[in-house]
A and B are shown apart, each in its own frame.
Chain A
Amino acid sequence: MKKIISFVLIAIMALSFSSCGRASEYIGELHVYCFGDYFDPELMYKFEDETGIMVVLDSFDTNEEMYPVIKNGTADYDLICCSEYMISQLIAEDLIQKVNKENIPNLKYIDEKNLKMLESIDEGNQYAVPHTWGTYGILYNTDHIKKGEITSWKDLWNEKYSNQIIMLDSLRDAMMIPLKILGCSENTLSEEEVSKATDLLISQKPLVYKYANDATRDLMIGDAADIAVITSGEVLYVQDCNDHMNYVIPKEGTEVWSDCWAITKSTKNKEYAEKFINFMLRPENALANFEYLTYAIPNTGMYSMMDKEYLNNEVLFPSDETLERCETLVTLDADTRKMYSRYWKKFKAI
């Protein structure tokens, strides 16, 4: 018995020494909090080799899930990546800080068009550095559904597709869909409109196979459902595995979103965070991210290295005409947010 105990103790000591050894190779740590699987993991190792900074990565599924962590300071993160409406909320609550543009020379590569889109939530582009952007639309499998059959968000309420639909599982994005059908703004403040939208979502529930966000991609590839609401970034990836997939932006218009890097107010490693952002903006790294994620990345340096075919791809880079039908989410005041959550909970409970 003693032998076992001493063996266990030795094992513990060996393990703890080996972990000490690993930490000492690095000059510091950078805690990154971002959407799941949102950049090429190889880049993480490359960054560590280049700078000697260890990246500690954590992921979340929705913006709403990230917010309490940052707000309550339950864990200390240096750098986050989230959607623009959440960025403006974090700015308003003084939870993120301005970036020092001198430390991020690669900012020059960012597409002017995207910076302009962000002006509405971040005046002068002082806080947020865009990582990816895209639209929401409907992806459907043309093996089971005739091409061109789906043109409108209303088709997601067609009983013909019962149990074949994958819907979004994130509050604001999911609310956007019925609001668009009702012809309202996705940023509406009217309780009446939100209530009607909730009723629509509830009426759709029996038809829905699953509510999911990031998992949708693999479910569609695995042929688990025929129709899914998905972001434009996943489309190329899905089509790569199954080219009978068609993506359509519904005629009612949709949401255009940007996910951005931002540095938390509480960070003690601002420099590291800026180094990381700068690293991600380097054209060849942006390209690596694009190839890994297939999300559109607004990096002009990358455009010149990319296949022309991709640049002209309407799904990745929607035309200005399409973009005119789109709207960006903005943050809502606290009371309206509570109102939205109340209706969301009601929808979830039924």
Chain B
Amino acid sequence: MYKRKLLASPFMVMILIGTIIPLCAIGYYGLTDELGGFTFENLLAIFEPDHLKALELSLILAAVSTIICFLIAYPLGLILRDSKLGEKGFIIFIFIIPMWMNFLLRTMAWQTMLERNGLFNSLMDFMGIPFVEIMNTPYAVVLGMVYDFLPFMVLPIYNVLSKMDKSVIEAAYDLGASKLKVLSKVILPLSVPGIVSGVTMVFVPSLTTFVISNMLGGGKINLIGNIIEQEFTVTNNWNLGAGLSLVMMIFIVISMAFIAKFDKNGEGGLL
């Protein structure tokens, strides 16, 4: 048995070099100033109005996108679960194919569609809906997030729903529960692990993205991800960038704790 444990050593080395040391590096940069002296300034910088505003906007947009994703994905999961449309593997396959397409290309597609004379406005025009300008607004960014991360919500929810024990639901019906009641008292509570893992998988990338806001926000939407990226690539203040990343990690740790609470098997709803 002892020898078998050794097989995990390449993994442990990779985790050490690739995860633990880098996290220490970020901690080191985040807690020191340019001269290397210890400081909390970079962490407290989150309370500066510019940063606070970006964080607030990021939280709002991420929350809105997550909710929209959930509202689209849950009914979809229910429908797919009950459907007899040929092979189930095939239909879920169709829903996740877009996930395999490069995510920058997917975002770029919306950029193309939403420009003033792009397809979106042409369609609106055709249907007689007055000219709506959503390009370079928070709406476009939310749309991009929903589009990019929707499969991450569909997949875990579908997984949980399709594995659910049908007899429990039938039992509820037999006991005289209405459809709504079954949904709210049986199906929904039982699918919580899938929902939680879907929510984290949409919320975390939405909260931390800088690409979508860059490509669909026209330089007008400044999320916390953009600020951190700018600190590294433009302003060249790595300490501040690392400090803000640490703050962002606090939010990630919160969601990790959240997922750990609901998902005790440690397997996640992923694939």
- Chains A and B in contact, CB within 8 Å: yes
CB distance from A72 to the nearest CB of B (A): 8
Please tell me if B178 contacts chain A, counting CB pairs below 8 Å. Answer: no
Give chain B residues whose Cβ lies under 8 Å from the Cβ of A212.
218-219
Which stretch, B61-69, B97-105, B229-237, B256-264, touches the partner chain A?
B229-237
Query: How far does the Cβ of B23 sit from chain A's closest Cβ, in whole Å?
Result: 20
- 8 Å CB contact of A68 from B49, B133, B220, B233: B233
Contact A350 B53, CB 8 Å, known A210-B219, A211-B218, A222-B117? yes
| B116 lies within 8 A of chain A by Cβ | yes
Find B234's partner among A62, A219, A222 (CB 8 Å cutoff): A62
Q: Mark A56-85, 1 if CB is under 8 A from B, else 0.
A: 000000101101100110000000000000
Contact of A349 with B53 in the complex, beta carbons under 8 Å? yes
Chain B's closest residue to A225 (CB) is: B116
Residues of B within 8 Å of A223, CB to CB, are 116-117
Does chain B have a CB within 8 A of A122?
A: no
CA distance A350 to B53 in the complex (A): 8
Mask, A325-346, CB within 8 Å of B = 1, is 0000000000000000100011
Contact of B117 among A71, A224, A345, A346 (CB under 8 A): A224
Further contacts, 18 of them, CB under 8 A, given A209-B136, A211-B218, A224-B116: A62-B234, A68-B236, A72-B236, A169-B219, A171-B234, A205-B220, A208-B218, A208-B220, A210-B218, A210-B219, A211-B219, A222-B115, A222-B117, A223-B117, A225-B116, A348-B222, A349-B49, A349-B51
**B binding-site residues for A, Cβ under 8 Å:** 49-51, 53-54, 115-117, 133, 135-136, 218-220, 222, 227, 230, 232-236
Identify the A interface with B (CB < 8 A). Answer: 62, 64-65, 67-68, 71-72, 163, 169, 171, 205, 208-212, 219, 222-225, 341, 345-346, 348-350
A68 near B50 with CB under 8 A, answer no
Question: Would A163 and B133 be within 8 Å (CB), given that A219-B115, A349-B49, A349-B53 are in contact?
Answer: yes
Q: List 15 A-B contacts (CB under 8 A).
A: A64-B235, A65-B233, A68-B236, A171-B234, A209-B135, A211-B219, A212-B219, A223-B117, A224-B116, A341-B234, A348-B219, A349-B49, A349-B50, A349-B51, A350-B53
- A169 to B233 alpha-carbon distance, docked (Å): 14
B233 touching A210, Cβ below 8 Å: no
Alpha-carbon separation in the docked complex, A202 to B230 (Å): 19
Tell me the complex Cα distance, A350–B51, Å: 10
Give the chain B neighbours of A68 by CB distance below 8 A.
232-234, 236
Chain A positions within 8 Å of B51 at CB level: 349
CA distance A225 to B125 in the complex (A): 18
Contact of A210 among B117, B220, B236 (CB under 8 A): B220
Question: Smallest distance from the beta carbon of A57 to chain B beta carbons, Å?
Answer: 19
Chain A residues contacting B232 (CB-CB under 8 Å) are: 68
B222/A209 in contact, CB under 8 A: no
A225 to B136 Cα, complex, angstroms = 12
In the bound complex, CA of A219 to CA of B135 (Å): 13
Shortest distance from the beta carbon of A230 to any chain B beta carbon, whole Å: 15
**Is the beta-carbon distance between A209 and B236 smaller than 8 angstroms?**
no
- Chain B residues within an 8 Å CB radius of A65: 233-234
Query: Which residues of chain B are near A210, meaning CB under 8 Å?
Result: 135-136, 218-220
User: CA–CA, A162 to B220, complex, Å?
Assistant: 14
C-alpha gap A68/B240 in the complex (Å): 15
Give A341 to B234 CA distance when docked, in angstroms: 9
Contacts of B227 in A (CB 8 A): 345, 349
Report B-chain residues with C-beta under 8 Å of the C-beta of A62: 234
When distances are taken between beta carbons in the complex, the residues of chain A under 8 Å from B116 are: 222-225
| Most chain A CB atoms below 10 A, which of B53, B219, B230 | B219
The interface centre, meaning the residue of A65, A171, A210, A212 with most chain B CB atoms within 10 A of its CB, is A210
Question: Is there an interface contact between B236 and A71, defined as CB atoms closer than 8 Å?
Answer: yes
Q: Which 10 residue pairs of A and B lie closest in terms of their CB atoms, listed nearest first?
A: A211-B219, A210-B218, A349-B50, A68-B236, A64-B234, A224-B116, A169-B219, A224-B115, A210-B136, A341-B235
The closest CB in chain A to the CB of B112 belongs to A222
Contact A209 B50 (CB under 8 A): no
Instruction: Tell me the complex Cα distance, A205–B136, Å.
Output: 12
Partner of B236, one of A67, A163, A169: A67
Central interface residue in B136, B220, B222, by most chain A CB within 10 Å? B220
The CA of A64 and the CA of B231, in the complex, are separated in Å by 11
Q: Give the docked Cα–Cα distance between A225 and B116 (Å).
A: 8
Q: In the bound complex, how far is the Cα of B32 from the Cα of A261, in angstroms? A: 36
Interchain CA distance A286-B49 in the complex, whole Å: 49
Cβ of B85 to closest chain A Cβ, rounded Å: 30
A346 to B54 CA separation, bound complex (whole angstroms): 11
Bound CA–CA A210/B213 (angstroms): 12
Check A349–B222 contact: CB distance below 8 A.
Answer: yes
Query: Which residues of A are found within 8 Å of B230, using beta-carbon distances?
Result: 345, 348
- Chain A nearest CB, measured from B34 CB (Å): 11
Chain B residues, Cβ within 8 Å of A208: 218, 220
Bound: A222/B119 CA distance, A? 13
Residues of B within 8 A of A169 (CB): 219
Q: How far is the CA of A285 from the CA of B181 in the complex (A)?
A: 76
